[in-house]
């Protein structure tokens, strides 16, 4: 019972973060504030209680803590940017997201993760990936029951964004490979995991995500380079992918499966047929993997021979990956001409590939290059501090060349550079670089560890996620962010664990229990007499060195208090957003009640202008133009770089007060901040003849 209690208490941060990520994944990926905040609140309160009760020990300073410190500094800089932000309410929410990630990182490190925790986290990521894949694929298989995939051919639910759905599936793929290739795992379980791998690959295909497939290739390369069971993993990958690929090729004529349609009856019939062939592919995968696992048990190939064959297979795959494209390019105009053509196509802002499976063969940035140029133009205005965390939408309004309206730069690095300047980019880069190095060191140090496959899987999943972070806005999808950081800091934190014989500041061991035992590792440590330490000497040495001392009760309560303050920081914008939505919903039926909701929303979040804009509209409806004018003036003072407040003030001055010169000034301000705003240009055109 004592060991179970210790396992639960010390592993609680990993379990809590994993549970939060699972719930967030099925609540729109944790992107919208209203659906994300309740989950984060529950997580932060639970972690605060754990912090006060467990009073975790302070570990040694290491490179992993440099990564966590850099993440904390980045969160602090994001919060500080509220002072100069062009959209302080957006910066507040961005600070909350960075704060959540910091809490995940710090609490995982304070729990001192062990290999048992790594098993828990990787197993949880695999189960979550399979659950997401099942729900997503049901949108194709039974669209008459699960109707989330009727509008687009690309799967996006439950996360709400196809690229992040693909990334979540890719994170589970190397874990499935590690388990399916493990010789000590029971053969039926290996076959079941191989079937899950086939399900992940089929669902990944129907996201039609080019970035997802690129990340999959990167993750597989990292996994096979870092694991020791290459041959078994390669066989498991082939066993899972060949039946899946054969089923997809056989069904290539089903137009409603590979493209959008409005014919519900045909879509349902073809979806049922897809489901039948998916079950066939999963059954074939299960049977093949079970047979091969039983043969492996019976034949028991020599480990050295398996490693040699695995390395040879890895070299052949690498040569095929490099030589195949080179041979193809040489037959199609030469390498130089082919690359030049692909670069021209990639930089073309149009032609993203549409909503069909054919987009996987189109090499196009889908407007990302233009967004990066906009980010650089915005950075030139505020190179050090940026415009405030989460405010790229205003940069896009101001510097865009076309009519494209986006909230994110589709690259975390470019968005941070534009929103938080060179300082913010440096802090984030230091944190991520330290994290990557710490993970690599952890994997290298455990080169002969029995769980080498899981270590390689975690490293592959995290590096793939970090690579995708450079071409998309995964950072704001908190479900993916929590999963990535949970895997990363669990893996990187393993290198901070004491080696056998190095005493740690634990309570006195019971009789017969080795001093270095850790119940979560499933073993009792090294029980050699020379490695035993007297409990009193261990405690005295810890007091003398000052390493890994348990936090005092006041410090633990202080940490819990800070976590609860973080929960309040999430709560206030959430309540304000809910009150704002109620104000909009009741504006027609009950203007007075809607006005009260709008005022409450503004009190809860005094940095937001949406409640003031809503309140001004309601005041006009109630026949109080002076109150509406006062609300708009407050909005202008609060966010002078927001084109919407100038436009709304200009409309009020022109239509109610007939102060046309002042209204024209406001419309010009709106156009200066958003040159593509057609309504302001139209109204200004009406006023200029006057």
d(CA 90, CA 609) in angstroms, rounded, equals 11
pLDDT at 276 over 60: yes
Q: How confident is the model at residue 614 (pLDDT cuts 50, 70, 90)?
A: very high
Average pLDDT over residues 42-52: 94
pLDDT at 384 over 90: yes
pLDDT at 84 over 50: yes
pLDDT of residue 3: 61
Average pLDDT over residues 77-92: 95
pLDDT of residue 61: 81
Average pLDDT over residues 567-595: 93
pLDDT at 126 over 70: yes
DSSP letters for 441-473 = HHHHHTTT-TTHHHHHHHHHHHHHHHHHHTTS-
pLDDT of residue 145: 84
**CA torsion sign, 555 to 559 to 564 to 569?**
positive
pTM here is 0.86
Each residue's pLDDT tens digit, 469-498: 999 999 999 999 999 999 999 999 985 444
Which has more pLDDT, 340 or 438? 438
d(CA 275, CA 57) in angstroms, rounded, equals 51
Structural contact between residues 388 and 84, judged by C-beta atoms closer than 8 angstroms: yes
Each residue's pLDDT tens digit, 391-446: 999 999 999 887 778 899 999 999 999 999 999 999 999 999 999 999 999 998 88
- List the alpha helices (DSSP H) in 505-590: 535-545, 553-585
Give percent of the chain above pLDDT 70: 81
Phi, psi of 518 (to 5 degrees): -135, 115
pLDDT at 330 over 80: no
Class of domain 574-687: mainly alpha
pLDDT of residue 353: 57
d(CA 600, CA 575) in angstroms, rounded, equals 9
The maximal CA–CA distance of the chain, rounded, in angstroms, is: 97
pLDDT of residue 519: 41
Give percent of the chain above pLDDT 90: 58
Average pLDDT over residues 678-686: 90
pLDDT at 598 over 80: yes
Structure token digits, residue 407? 């909230």
Which has more pLDDT, 126 or 331? 126
**C-alpha angle with apex 17: 523 to 446, nearest 5 degrees?**
40
Q: How confident is the model at residue 309 (pLDDT cuts 50, 70, 90)?
A: low
pLDDT of residue 261: 75
Each residue's pLDDT tens digit, 529-563: 444 444 444 434 444 444 456 778 888 899 999 99
Average pLDDT over residues 206-213: 90
- The set of residues, in sequence order, having a beta carbon less than 8 Å from that of 661 and lying 6+ positions away, is none
Cα–Cα nearest to 395, from 668, 675, 611: 675
- The set of residues, in sequence order, having a beta carbon less than 8 Å from that of 3 and lying 6+ positions away, is 519
- The set of residues, in sequence order, having a beta carbon less than 8 Å from that of 247 and lying 6+ positions away, is 202, 277, 278, 280, 281
pLDDT at 641 over 70: yes
pLDDT at 629 over 90: yes
What does the domain layout of the chain look like in residue ranges?
Answer: 574-687
Tell me the C-alpha to C-alpha distance, in Å, between residue 385 and each of 72, 85, 207, 607, 640.
17, 9, 37, 19, 18
Cα–Cα nearest to 29, from 167, 124, 175: 167
Q: What is the DSSP letter of 552?
A: P
């Amino acid at each position: 019972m004592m060991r179970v209690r210790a396992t639960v208490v010390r592993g609680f941060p990993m379990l809590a973060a994993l549970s939060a990520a699972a719930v967030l994944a099925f609540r729109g990926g944790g992107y919208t504030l209203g659906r994300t905040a309740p989950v984060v609140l529950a997580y932060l309160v639970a972690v605060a209680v754990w912090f006060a009760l467990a009073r975790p020990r302070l570990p040694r300073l290491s490179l992993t803590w440099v990564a966590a410190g850099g993440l904390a500094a980045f969160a602090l800089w994001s919060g500080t940017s509220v002072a100069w932000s062009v959209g302080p309410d957006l910066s507040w929410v961005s600070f909350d997201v960075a704060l959540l990630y910091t809490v995940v990182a710090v609490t995982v490190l304070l729990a001192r993760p062990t290999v048992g925790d790594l098993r828990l986290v990787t197993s949880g990521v695999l189960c979550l990936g399979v659950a997401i894949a099942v729900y997503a694929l049901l949108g194709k298989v039974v669209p008459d029951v699960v109707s989330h995939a009727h509008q687009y051919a690309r799967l996006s639910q439950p996360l709400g964004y196809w690229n992040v759905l693909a990334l979540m599936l890719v994170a589970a793929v190397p874990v499935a490979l590690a388990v399916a290739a493990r010789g000590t795992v029971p053969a039926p379980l290996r076959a079941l995991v191989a079937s899950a791998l086939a399900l992940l690959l089929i669902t990944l295909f129907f996201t039609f995500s080019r970035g997802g497939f690129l990340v999959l290739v990167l993750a597989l390369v990292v996994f096979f380079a870092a694991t020791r069971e290459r041959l078994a993993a390669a066989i498991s990958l082939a066993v899972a992918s060949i039946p899946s690929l054969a089923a997809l090729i056989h069904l290539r004529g089903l137009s409603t499966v590979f493209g959008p349609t409005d014919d519900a009856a045909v879509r349902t019939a073809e979806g049922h047929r897809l489901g039948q062939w998916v079950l066939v592919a999963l059954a074939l995968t299960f049977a093949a993997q079970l047979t091969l696992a039983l043969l492996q048990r019976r034949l028991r190939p020599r480990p050295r021979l398996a490693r040699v064959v695995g390395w040879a297979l890895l070299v052949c795959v690498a040569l095929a990956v490099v030589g195949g494209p080179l041979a193809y390019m040489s037959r199609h105009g030469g390498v130089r001409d082919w690359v030049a053509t692909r670069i021209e196509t990639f930089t073309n802002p149009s032609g993203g590939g549409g909503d069909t499976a054919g987009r996987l063969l189109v090499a196009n940035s889908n407007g990302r290059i233009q967004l990066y140029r906009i980010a650089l133009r915005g950075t030139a205005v505020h190179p050090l501090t940026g415009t405030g965390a989460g405010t790229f939408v205003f940069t896009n309004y101001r510097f865009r060349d076309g009519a494209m309206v986006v909230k994110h730069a589709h690259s975390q690095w470019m968005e941070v550079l534009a929103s938080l300047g060179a300082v913010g980019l440096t802090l984030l880069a230091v944190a991520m670089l330290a994290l990557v190095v710490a993970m690599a060191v952890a994997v290298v140090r455990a080169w002969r560890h029995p769980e080498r496959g899981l270590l390689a899987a975690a490293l592959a999943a995290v590096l793939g996620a970090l690579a995708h972070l450079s071409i998309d806005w995964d950072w704001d999808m908190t479900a993916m962010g929590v999963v990535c950081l949970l895997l990363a800091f669990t893996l990187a934190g393993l290198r901070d664990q004491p080696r056998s014989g190095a005493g740690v500041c634990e309570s006195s061991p019971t009789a017969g229990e080795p001093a270095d035992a850790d119940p979560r590792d499933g073993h009792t440590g090294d029980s050699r007499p020379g490695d035993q330490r007297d409990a009193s000497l261990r405690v005295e040495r810890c007091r003398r060195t000052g390493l890994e001392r348990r936090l005092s009760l006041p410090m633990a309560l202080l940490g819990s208090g800070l976590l609860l303050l973080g929960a309040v920081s999430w709560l206030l914008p959430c309540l304000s957003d809910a009150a704002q939505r109620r104000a909009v919903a009741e504006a027609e039926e009950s203007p007075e009640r809607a006005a009260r909701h709008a005022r409450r929303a503004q009190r809860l979040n005094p940095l937001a202008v949406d409640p003031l804009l809503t309140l001004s509209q309601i005041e006009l409806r109630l026949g109080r133009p002076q109150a509406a004018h006062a609300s708009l003036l407050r909005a202008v003072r609060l966010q002078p770089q927001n084109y919407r407040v100038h436009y709304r003030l200009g409309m009020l001055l022109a239509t109610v007060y007939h102060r046309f010169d002042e209204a024209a000034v406001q419309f010009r301000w709106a156009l200066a901040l958003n040159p593509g705003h057609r309504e302001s240009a139209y109204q200004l055109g009406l006023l200029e003849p006057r």
